[in-house]
Amino acid sequence: TARGWEDLSRTIQVHEKRNLPVNEGLAVQFLQDPEISRSFAVYYDLYKKYRDIYRVPDILAGRFTGPEEGEKLELDPVRIREMKVAPFDEKLSLISLLIDALSQAFAACARDKAVQELLMREMSQVRQVLKSAENKSVENQSAENKSAENMSAENKSAENMSVENQSAENTGEGDSASSQKSAETKLPGSSGRQAVKEEQPGRAAQNIAAEAIHERSGSLLRELRRKKEAGIPVEREQERVLRTACREMDGLREQLLEKSISQPLPPRMQYALIRDWFSAREQARQTAVKEADTSLTNAFRFLSHVYGDGQEMVLFLTELSSGYYSLKFINEHGNEEYFRYNRMLLLRERRDALRDEVLRLME
């Protein structure tokens, strides 16, 4: 089934990272067909052989002999001639290796974009929470300042009344000192209470963003669990994006908590940290897009240098244009080499069609 092939593909990726064997015994666990598993194991061995020979990462990185960058050529003319006269199945394997590596890069770009869009949506919700907290903090501060002003006015009035009573009663220096002491003990006390109240908004605000992020992440996972329990189908890639976003949010939450250990962070500073975190992720995503675009360009230059504009280039273009993630990447970001060779292929097809039409009319 399609699910079996997908699970086998993911398992192979894990085995390759850990240098574990990939053989018929592994394949049959997922494909449930001994003959198909045997054929796949043979194909995989051939695939791995060509992968080691052609060093696809070097090709995509531009480390090969090309007409525009001969000074950093690593493929000697003898090797290029061997490639040109190689059996068709070997050429097909090379093209498959290039398409496979590019497709993985394109899929990663699509996934990163989906994760970033989800994070942007969730962070906008967190921003609203922080904005409300900031407004509430300002309102509380204004109310506290007003209360402090009223209390100061009351204390001043009490002090004036005490002085007036002292003058009217003429009770002597002892009573005057007592009244003055009474007035002085009230002012520091009220000032101390004001200081305590001013500190509390900072303490209360220090975990607002972390708590909001935790709530948003938990909400996403609860919704995913609800859909699964209700039997609502969830695409595997969609679930992968969601879980990746939740892990990123949990990491951001930990950063915020660490930053607030030494001193309380007001809502505005919390949002500044979130904004910087999001911008760094976006910059990394854009860098990955540029790297994928460069890899695609290098693949075209390599094929053009080795095979020219022959059937190998046509096959590469056909495979590229039929892939979901490759076509999605090109539609969103473009690629000059792809458009150039695609136009060339279309012109060739049109020319061949016109030639066939002329020959038909001449019969």
Query: Residue 216: CB partners within 8 Å, gap ≥ 6?
Result: 122, 125, 126, 249
pLDDT (0 to 100) of residue 76: 64
CB atoms within 10 A of CB 134: 18
CA–CA separation, 160 vs 167, rounded Å?
11
Burial 196-226 (b: 16+ CB within 10 A, else e): eeeeebeeebbbbbbebbeebbeebeeebee
pLDDT (0 to 100) of residue 260: 84
Task: Give the end-to-end CA distance of the chain in Å, rounded to a whole number.
Answer: 50
CA–CA separation, 12 vs 29, rounded Å?
12
Query: Residue 198: CB partners within 8 Å, gap ≥ 6?
Result: 141, 144
pLDDT (0 to 100) of residue 300: 95
pLDDT (0 to 100) of residue 187: 37
pLDDT (0 to 100) of residue 33: 84
CB atoms within 10 A of CB 330: 19
User: Domain spans of the chain?
Assistant: 1-44
Splitting the chain (363 residues) into consecutive groups of 10 residues, what average pLDDT does each group show?
A: 79 88 88 87 82 84 60 61 84 91 96 97 93 68 54 56 54 48 42 41 62 95 94 92 97 92 85 95 97 96 89 92 94 94 78 67 69
